[in-house]
Structure 1
Amino acid sequence: MTLPPKPPARADKVSLWRYMRLFRKDLLSAQPAKLYRAWMAEFRTPFFRSYMVNQPDLVAKILKERPDDFPKSDRVAEGLRPLLGESVFLTNGETWKRQRRIIDPAFEGGRLRDTYPAMWAAAEASVARLDALVGKDVEIEEEASHAAADIIFRTLFSIPIEHHVARQVFDQFRTYQRSQPILNVAAFLPLPRWMPRFFKRSTKSTAREIRRLITELTNARAADIADGRAPQDLATKIMTAKDPETGEGFEPAEMVDQVAIFFLAGHETSASALAWTLYLLATHPDWQDQVAHEAQRLTPEFSSVSALKTTRGVFREALRLYPPVPMMVREAVCPEQFRDREIAPGSQMVLSPWHLHRHERLWDNPDGFDPGRWATENGKTCMREAFVPFSAGSRVCVGAGFAMIEGVLMLAMILKHFRLTPVAGRTPEPVAHLTVRSANGIWLRLERRDAE
């Protein structure tokens, strides 16, 4: 069986400046092939040291056991701050802890049940849009982005993607995603805060426009809350939530930062995961048929999603092969010793779901698509120790549960109505910008299942 596509890893050593050029073009193909077997690797620049860590117990130490000793790196924040400001995705320390105390209750299991009707409505709308594309070659990443954005706006602000402000945010964000690499050039250099960060002019202007539109939405919601007319969606829950320790909530400017990351995390990452899963099912018709059969159990009732075990396994396997966020960077704040290396304070600790999820010394058939692996001993062990699509520990993505429900629902809804086949000659090429996407789109053909 043909293996799912993965970018070619470089085999040779390159200079720092060539590496930076490769890195900006595509984060994944810039990495050497040996990282799929290495427990740890060192990368040197004239200004700092980076260490990629794939050894499970060391990954656990960084993410789960001592997260305060390995905060998020400001070098990653350099590229995202124009859009995300001081959002919960970028902050550290007491600021981050306060933000999570306010946000977390909105995404608890019981609260997710309240968002399900909005997810269901968005899934039905997606099926209606796809129905008009039957028999055509469809760029499914674009459709997945549309569906994921619709879910975010319906669950966050109770408006569909067709709302004039929602549509503008979606269109502007698509432009931003295509122009913004994961790391800005400033990530490689020890620049003082007052120096320019080498952003493209279009990147900065697009970020400003997105934030202006989000400010318009949050201001309107604040007025509705004050008048007692606000729907009880995620935006209202978060804007009215108080820190249990201080009794204070988010200021208006802070809420704009949080909505920006909800849109990035809840739309961009979900779209990436959904598109790759649909491609994998199109290229593995046996698993596609199993998901389609199981999808007959799907109903508007929230409890029906929990019965879709095969679909959940398929989605989990797609998250393994194509984790939306391929790398995470932490910074050591005190001296450490990992394996035989002395880690100085300020060193960058790179945790790579892309490499960890395909590590040749951990996973059976690491590059193969096998949703059945999760029932094996190897799969169960690796899920505990080497599977971090949403990070892990205290900084696990607040929307992880939301994403799993959304992904399973969307897959089941689409496969219930359509059969997917890949378009000949259009094998996707994974590249990493803000998330793992295809360099030239993911092209599929849809046919109605009720016509079979």
Structure 2
Amino acid sequence: MSVVQAATALSAAYAVFVVGRLLAKREPGDRLIAINAGPLAMPISGFWPPKGWLGNSWAHFLRAAFDRFGQTVIPCIFPLTAERYIYVGDAAACKMIMNDRHAFIKDVKAYAVISFFGENIVGTEGDTWVRHRSIARKSFGERNNALLWTETVRTLEDWFAPWDAEIGAQGGKITANLTESMRDITLFIIASAGFGLQFSRTTLGEKREGYALPFGKALFTAIETMFHRVLAPRWLYSLPIESLRKSDEAYSELQRYIKQMIAEARASGAAPGADAESSEAADLFRRLVDANDEEQGARLTDDELLSNIYVFFLAGHETSAHTLTFAFALLALHPEVQDKLYEEAKRLWPEDSGEQWSTSKLPDYNRLEYALAVFRETLRLFPAEVAMQRVSVNDTTLPSQIRNAAGQWQPARLPVKAGTVCVLDIHAVHMSPLDWGEDAERFRPERFIDSPGYEWPRDAWIPFTGGPHVCLGQRFATVESVCILARMARKYRISPTPEIAKLPKDEQWRRLTKWTVGITSTPGRVDLSFEKR
């Protein structure tokens, strides 16, 4: 028998084995064959997905499957291992899964990509997760949010000055790379309010003595090369591969920076037993170190502390930067929404200068209802995490809806076996007409403002997840983003660049809101025009 014949025979035998196992384990109602629903998820449903799935097409593809099959929860089976999966695009089912952390546990394998420094609050479950969360939650409070608002105002004032000078020099309008601008602005803010570090445009590129990279460069490179760190074996780093060398250098320097920050925080920390809310330092980092050092039970190791600090940086910086980039792109595409946001901000700050403007404090947040609605609507359309996983511990059932022959949706229950991987499709829930109406794909912030006879569907908005695992930084991200949205809309009129503005509306939308699935939903480069109001 030739090599080709042998290979063909082995392939055929394996195919028969796989098909036989699938047929043996397949159950009535199985619709979808899944290929790895982890960070590099890729679904296949009866037909191969279109070209371009490496961008965001897989998310749209899976969302379309719920409509195609006429059900909000889709059972499926992984062909190579015969593992059972269900894709959940149902708000009630997601709520049930998120609320019961004992019946549906976190699939920690899916979070290896952010756990290479050690265990952290995101990548753990059970008693270990409880230990991490009990310490991490002490970092957050209104004292920190007040500092966050003040530092956001200060950072924006520092950012506005060169923009205003450039606008004056260029005849009233400039073009700015919003993706890059939001990346830097949110880094300055999380560095200051989160970690007590003061950065500006002029100091971002400076590095500490004895370090190979500036802090910002180390952080950005570490985030950009995160998958290198997880997928590439350590021996590969010994080869002359430039991308791996840069990744290794970035992670090494970032680790050194954070360890030095921990040592400095301990050297100047609050006295043991001091109340966290009354402690002189309000930044997240100092509060985390203090809370851990004061812990009477099982405190975090230094590696665990480092890993949690890295997660704080990642969540507090990249998520906000990307969400704000999407938000300003949407405001540029919808001037009528932008004008409403401007009017709200103008009522709060009649002048874009002076003491009222420069001394704005956290209570102003409560007067920015429309800015909050813009933020929430942006996250509905572009959630930072498009899907997440849980694993069922016991046999159970989930609520779902099925479309009947008449096209009407009816409630149903779907049986779920123990060990089934439940993929909560946040993107699909956020775009479901069942919860958000037939205009679910439209950008309409008003849907997030309650009125007599209407309350927006809280259970169908889950960008920060929900239940016991709800994101600790939800209010931090919201306060920061609302402040940035309101103050920038008050100061500038934002529009597409002339090159984009001449295109049809649907093409403008496609160009300015294109995104890919990475650690978070990641926008492409967004260039916008700014002119002073």
Is the pair's TM-score, using the shorter chain for normalization, greater than 0.5?
Answer: yes
Distance 1:24 1:143, change over 3 A: closer
Give the corresponding residue for 2:519: 434
Give the corresponding residue for 1:274: 324
The CA deviation string for residues 311-367 of structure 1, in whole angstroms up to 9 with x for no partner, is: 111111111111112111112222233356543333221112211111122212110
Residue 102 of structure 2, aligned match among 61, 64, 68: 68
Distance 1:21 1:219, change over 3 A: farther
Give the corresponding residue for 1:216: 260
Residue 34 of structure 1, aligned match among 58, 61, 65: 65
SS of the residue aligned with 1:361? helix
Decide whether the 8 Å contact of 1:145 with 1:271 is kept in 2: yes
* Residue type of the alignment partner of 1:345: A
Distance 1:259 1:32, change over 3 A: same
1:50 and 1:132 map into 2 onto residues whose CA distance is 56
SS of the residue aligned with 1:446? strand
2:294 and 2:317 map into 1 onto residues whose CA distance is 29
Give the corresponding residue for 1:386: 460
1:282 and 1:169 map into 2 onto residues whose CA distance is 32
Give the corresponding residue for 1:52: 87
Residue 358 of structure 1, aligned match among 421, 431, 439: 431
1:194 and 1:175 map into 2 onto residues whose CA distance is 18
The reply to whether residue 113 of structure 1 matches residue 146 of structure 2 is: yes
The reply to whether residue 257 of structure 1 matches residue 307 of structure 2 is: yes
Decide whether the 8 Å contact of 1:182 with 1:433 is kept in 2: no
SS of the residue aligned with 2:262? helix
The CA deviation string for residues 167-190 of structure 1, in whole angstroms up to 9 with x for no partner, is: 83432333344444699779xxxx
Distance 1:405 1:427, change over 3 A: closer
1:379 and 1:182 map into 2 onto residues whose CA distance is 51
1:27 and 1:347 map into 2 onto residues whose CA distance is 21
Give the corresponding residue for 1:367: 441
Distance 1:272 1:429, change over 3 A: same
Distance 1:82 1:24, change over 3 A: farther
Alignment of 1:5-404 (within 5 A): 13-14=46-47, 22=53, 28=59, 31=62, 33-35=64-66, 38-45=71-78, 46-47=80-81, 48-64=83-99, 66-82=100-116, 85-131=118-164, 134=167, 135-161=173-199, 162=203, 164=206, 168-180=214-226, 201=244, 205=248, 206-225=250-269, 231-242=281-292, 246-247=296-297, 249-296=299-346, 297-298=348-349, 299=357, 300-338=360-398, 341-364=414-437, 365-375=439-449, 382-404=456-478
Greater Rg over alpha carbons, structure: 2
1:232 and 1:61 map into 2 onto residues whose CA distance is 35
Distance 1:372 1:349, change over 3 A: same
Distance 1:286 1:113, change over 3 A: same
Distance 1:115 1:140, change over 3 A: closer
Which range is displaced more, 311-320 or 108-117? 108-117
1:11 and 1:71 map into 2 onto residues whose CA distance is 25
Decide whether the 8 Å contact of 1:22 with 1:29 is kept in 2: no
1:22 and 1:442 map into 2 onto residues whose CA distance is 21
Please state how far the C-alpha of 1:210 moved relative to its aligned partner: 2.6
Give the corresponding residue for 1:6: none
Structure with larger RCO (C-alpha < 8 A, sep 6+):
1
SS of the residue aligned with 1:329? strand
Please state how far the C-alpha of 1:303 moved relative to its aligned partner: 0.6
* Equivalent pairs, count: 427
Decide whether the 8 Å contact of 1:230 with 1:236 is kept in 2: no
1:254 and 1:315 map into 2 onto residues whose CA distance is 32
Please state how far the C-alpha of 1:86 moved relative to its aligned partner: 1.0
* Residue type of the alignment partner of 1:171: K
The CA deviation string for residues 276-299 of structure 1, in whole angstroms up to 9 with x for no partner, is: 111111111111112122223154
2:397 and 2:190 map into 1 onto residues whose CA distance is 42
The runs of 5 or more residues in structure 1 that have no matched partner are 1-8, 187-192
Please state how far the C-alpha of 1:218 moved relative to its aligned partner: 1.9
* Residue type of the alignment partner of 2:431: R
2:397 and 2:494 map into 1 onto residues whose CA distance is 50
Please state how far the C-alpha of 1:407 moved relative to its aligned partner: 0.6
1:177 and 1:380 map into 2 onto residues whose CA distance is 41
Please state how far the C-alpha of 1:96 moved relative to its aligned partner: 1.3
Which range is displaced more, 35-44 or 210-219? 35-44
1:403 and 1:42 map into 2 onto residues whose CA distance is 34
The runs of 5 or more residues in structure 2 that have no matched partner are 1-41, 168-172, 237-242, 273-278, 350-356, 400-412, 501-510
Percent identity (aligned) = 23
Q: Normalising by the residue count of structure 1, what TM-score does the alignment of the two structures yield?
A: 0.83
Decide whether the 8 Å contact of 1:332 with 1:349 is kept in 2: yes
SS of the residue aligned with 1:406? helix
Please state how far the C-alpha of 1:103 moved relative to its aligned partner: 1.9
Distance 1:380 1:145, change over 3 A: farther
Which range is displaced more, 295-304 or 177-186? 177-186
1:97 and 1:105 map into 2 onto residues whose CA distance is 13
Shift >6 Å, 4+ stretches: 9-12, 18-21, 182-186, 193-196, 226-230
Distance 1:165 1:128, change over 3 A: same
Alignment of 1:409-428 (within 5 A): 409-423=483-497, 424-425=499-500, 426-428=511-513
1:60 and 1:183 map into 2 onto residues whose CA distance is 33
Please state how far the C-alpha of 1:247 moved relative to its aligned partner: 4.4
Please state how far the C-alpha of 1:417 moved relative to its aligned partner: 1.4
2:50 and 2:123 map into 1 onto residues whose CA distance is 25
